[in-house]
Amino acid sequence: MTEPTSQTAAPGRCRRTPPQSPRPEALRRVAALLDGGERFVLTCHARPDGDAVGSLLGLGLALEAAGRDATLYMEAPVPPHLAFLPGSGRVVTEPPVPLAPGTVLVVLDCGEAGRVGRGGERLAREATSVVVLDHHLTQGEFGRDVVRYVDPEVFATGAIVLWVLNELGWPVSAEIATNLYAAIVSDTGAFQHNNTTALAFAMAEYLVSRGADPSGVARALYQSWPERRLRLLGLVLHTLEVRAGGRIGLLQATPEMFRTTGAREADTEDFVNYCRSIDSVEVAVFIREVHAGNVAVSLRSKTTYDVAALAQEFGGGGHFHAAGFRRSGSAGEIRALLLERLARDFDDLRP
């Protein structure tokens, strides 16, 4: 029998190394910079999801285990539903001022300094070097040269972090594996989204072999929500509207709904997917206005519609099938603008 390689494993055997990166040159540049550094600040996009937090914590724990000084910075505390991830208590919400000489800034799951939130652009200016590990289509400027590993075809930034660790030859502990597994589960929608590939399952297999607990991660991500989330969801589902012959679905959360239920914005994670679950819907829209005048919009599609391009027109970005943006105004105003724009692509859409 042929000995299994890193790409194929014999039945009943655990994968001993993760699948290899399709971009070895970019990977080597990133690994060399990380291997040569001693002091790091790691950050990700504001209002982070499971991929952003899992990637940040996974790489941060690996750097610390390798004897590096790593500060893990986000502009707000880790969202409550992700606080179970190992190392979440290490995250700080104030960036170092100023950065110490020789500091390398690593930006995860985010392609531009402005999306890091408070202090992102200053960190990019003061850092000795900047590394970006990301899988989003939307990439922006950092005001300087950046070493990037960006692959919009890969399902999660957590996968890129795993490739980096493998290139460095650094061990993957059970804590690191849990973070990266959670990153992959989050951005593949528990392996349900159409970005789920054989590679996603192969990486998941490897991470489970390194100590990630699939049942524990699933329970923490999907079965540990507070009651207020369900009460908010009940109100939101009453706003369901289907347009364009069933191809566009809209949901909305108002400031009054948040006040009534005591829910927070983090409690609305994945609400947009209830809209996308309708059999006829191609484009799902979830508009939430936590505080009057500040609107966030989540966009999802099933097959051929590019919601990242739509989000970019409103100042946002994301992936082909999952994107979003924030904008000042009322939910009603943003809804009207979105429907007007979507009418160009869905000719039977009526105001």
- Report pLDDT digits (tens) over 136-166: 877 887 877 899 999 999 999 999 999 999 9
Give the C-alpha separation, 347 to 351, whole Å.
Answer: 11
pLDDT attached to residue 259: 97
Give the C-alpha separation, 238 to 240, whole Å.
Answer: 6
User: Cα–Cα–Cα angle for 207, 208, 209, nearest 5°?
Assistant: 90
- 72 in Cβ contact with 95 (< 8 Å): no
> How many Cα neighbours within 13 Å face the side chain of 31?
18
Query: Based on the number of CB atoms within 10 Å of its own CB, is 340 exposed (0-12), middle (13-18) or buried (19 or more)?
Result: exposed
- The yes-or-no verdict on residue 351 having pLDDT over 50 is no
Q: What is the CATH architecture assignment of 227-342? A: Roll (3.10)
pLDDT attached to residue 142: 82
Q: What is the mean pLDDT of residues 117-123?
A: 89
- The yes-or-no verdict on residue 71 having pLDDT over 90 is yes
- The yes-or-no verdict on residue 8 having pLDDT over 50 is no
List the beta bridge partners of residue 30: none
Q: Does domain 24-221 match CATH 3.90.1640.10?
A: yes
Helices 198-209 and 157-168: crossing angle, nearest 10°? 60
Domain ranges in the chain are 24-221, 227-342
Nearest Cα neighbor of 117 from 77, 154, 88 is 77
pLDDT attached to residue 188: 94
pLDDT attached to residue 10: 40
Q: What is the mean pLDDT of residues 117-127?
A: 91
Tell whether omega for the bond before 214 is within 30 degrees of 0, i.e. cis.
no
Task: Please give the single-letter amino acid code of residue 99.
Answer: L
Q: What are phi and psi of 175, to 5 degrees?
A: -70, -45
- The yes-or-no verdict on residue 13 having pLDDT over 70 is no
Q: What is the mean pLDDT of residues 122-141?
A: 90
* Mean pLDDT for the chain overall: 91
pLDDT attached to residue 2: 31
Q: What is the mean pLDDT of residues 176-198?
A: 95
Give the C-alpha separation, 179 to 125, whole Å.
Answer: 29
Q: What is the mean pLDDT of residues 179-185?
A: 98
Q: How confident is the model at residue 23 (pLDDT cuts 50, 70, 90)?
A: confident
